[in-house]
Structure 1
């Protein structure tokens, strides 16, 4: 059982290092299966977000020498969900939790993608100019 868990951990780590790979695999694999590019793109975004969150958290921790990366991401996601829930309650009088979760998750995809690129550039620059990662 430990070997299976370790294999899953390594697979996640390899796919999270370059999150464009799972995005492309899901986009083209699922897109060829269902023949609906829009649905395949959304699923690829949703799956890749899980990899991006882990990768950005590790990059944040390594760049800034902290252990707050993952918790900071969760904090911002919860704050976003709270703000969206408040806005939804004020306009409609009710809350659709599924819609809020989906919106926060997909906004996280774009935010994490941007942070991934920024943190990777900072990390490469730090490695090139100071010799330390």
Structure 2
């Protein structure tokens, strides 16, 4: 059982390092199967978001020498969900949790993509400057 868990962790780590590859594989692979580009793009976004969250959390922890990366991301996602839920309640009088979760998850894709690029550039430049490979 431990070997299976380790294999899953390694697979996740390899996919999360360069999330563009799983995104493209899902987009074109699933898109070819279902023949619906929008549905394939959404699925690719959803799966890549999970990879980006882990990668950005690790990069944050490495750059800032902290252990708050994942918790900070989850905190911002919860705060965003609360703000969107509040706006939805004020406008409609009820809350659709599924729509809120989907909106936060998809917004997280764009936020994590931007943070991934910024943190990766910082980490690579930090590695080049200090000479640590």
CA deviations over 1:70-125 (Å, ceiling 9, x no partner): 00000000000000000000000000000000000000000000000000001111
Unpaired stretches in structure 2, ≥5 consecutive residues: none
Q: Normalized against structure 2, the TM-score is what? A: 0.98
* RMSD, matched Cα: 0.9
Query: Secondary structure of the residue that 1:94 maps to in structure 2?
Result: coil
The separation in 2 between residues aligned to 1:64 and 1:43, in whole angstroms, is 32
Unpaired stretches in structure 1, ≥5 consecutive residues: none
Partner of residue 19, structure 2: 19
Partner of residue 97, structure 2: 97
The separation in 2 between residues aligned to 1:128 and 1:6, in whole angstroms, is 30
Query: Secondary structure of the residue that 1:124 maps to in structure 2?
Result: helix
4+ long deviations beyond 3 Å:
none
Q: Normalized against structure 1, the TM-score is what? A: 0.98
Instruction: Count the aligned residue pairs.
Output: 133
